[in-house]
Amino acid sequence: MSIITTNTLKSEKPQKHGDAETMRSSSPLMLISIEVRKMKGSSFWWMIIGMITLVSLWSGFALMKRAGGNPATRTLTLTQGDIYQTISLLAPILAALLTSRLAIMETSERMDLKWQSLGQGETGSFFAKLAVVGTALSQVFIIPLTWTPLAALAMGFKSDGDLSSLILAPALIAFLSSLAVAAIQLMLSMTVKKQAVGLGVGVIASLVGSGLGPMNVARLGWFFPAGISSAASPFLTAATPDGYARMALVTNPWVLVQTSLIACIIWISISAFVITVKESRR
């Protein structure tokens, strides 16, 4: 009996070691799939669906108001600009809510300890969570930014620019801005135990980021994630002789997309560095 027991114990040890090595050498796609499986059955996805529905409904109401107003306001760029302005206002708050939900789920279900025991580090977990949260958050704005100009065009709105640029450029900036905001909020949720701190930062960032444009200091938005969408806005606003607002797409919006990409990489790198330092001190 002792021989059989000894052999059984010896055969189990390499298997556990192998599992840990597999986790350490997992590909990014594997880590992302793990994060998605963790959130299976959670309220995270319902929160995303609710956010997309809320912004889409608001966009629909704004489109209907434009359709019944002055013919000068029935333009695709003005309709698109209305939705684009919601990014700086809502992205920080929504990112704070989503990352706070992830942090609560991780600690309450002790998923963080489970995956750490299998060899998944916090840095790898950060990038996997960022891919999920950032992509999900960006859809809150990309979906309305995509369907609204198409619906407006079908309703007879005036097209005052290249339709592909009008859809693609704002959508890409929305994605990069959402990713940068999600990175900072995710870093806060993984390093600060009190989730109220992240929520407070999200509210303050929302107020500051959305106020840069009206104060004519949008360029300052390059200095923090929540202001990227304001600084990289591809829309130029002017007033018509009859007092209505007029919006036009900038001549080369792709320069703003490229600059947004650089800013996004910088803020993700800063967030990842903080997570790495925290992990190395354990």
The token duo for 48 is: 């995303």
Collapsing DSSP to helix, strand or coil, 84 comes out as helix
Here the tokens at position 3 are: 């021989």
How do 235-239 and 245-249 pair as beta strands? antiparallel
Q: Distance of CA 52 to CAs 32, 47, 131, Å? A: 22, 9, 18
CA distance 66 to 149: 12
**194 and 213 in contact (C-beta within 8 Å)?**
no
Please tell me the predicted confidence (pLDDT) of residue 120. 65
Instruction: Report the b/e string of 206-231 with b at 16+ CB within 10 A.
Output: bebbbebbeeeebeebbebbbbbbbb
242 CB contacts (<8 Å, ≥6 apart)?
70, 72
Bridge partners (DSSP) of residue 248 are: 236
Burial class (CB in 10 A: 0-12, 13-18, 19+), 237: middle
The identity of residue 139, as a single letter, is Q
Token pair of 239, please? 């007033």
Distance CA 73, CA 175 (A): 27
Residue type, 147: W
State the sign of the Cα–Cα–Cα–Cα dihedral 189, 221, 254, 61: positive
DSSP string, 13-79: HHHHHHHHHHHHT--HHHHHHHHHHHTTTSSHHHHHHHHHHHHHHHHHHHHHHHHTS-GGG-BHHHH
**DSSP letter, residue 164:** H
What local confidence, expressed as pLDDT, does residue 2 receive? 43
- Predicted confidence at residue 236, as pLDDT, reads 85
Q: What is the pLDDT along the chain (282 residues), one digit of tens a residue?
A: 444 444 444 444 444 444 444 444 457 788 788 778 877 777 889 999 999 999 999 999 989 888 876 777 788 888 898 899 999 999 999 999 999 888 877 766 555 555 555 556 788 889 989 999 999 999 999 999 999 999 999 988 888 778 888 999 999 999 999 999 999 999 999 888 888 888 999 999 999 999 998 888 999 999 999 999 999 999 987 766 665 667 888 888 999 999 999 999 999 999 999 999 987 876
Q: What is the pLDDT of residue 78?
A: 86
| Maximum distance among all Cα pairs of the chain, rounded to whole angstroms | 96
Q: What is the pTM of this model?
A: 0.85
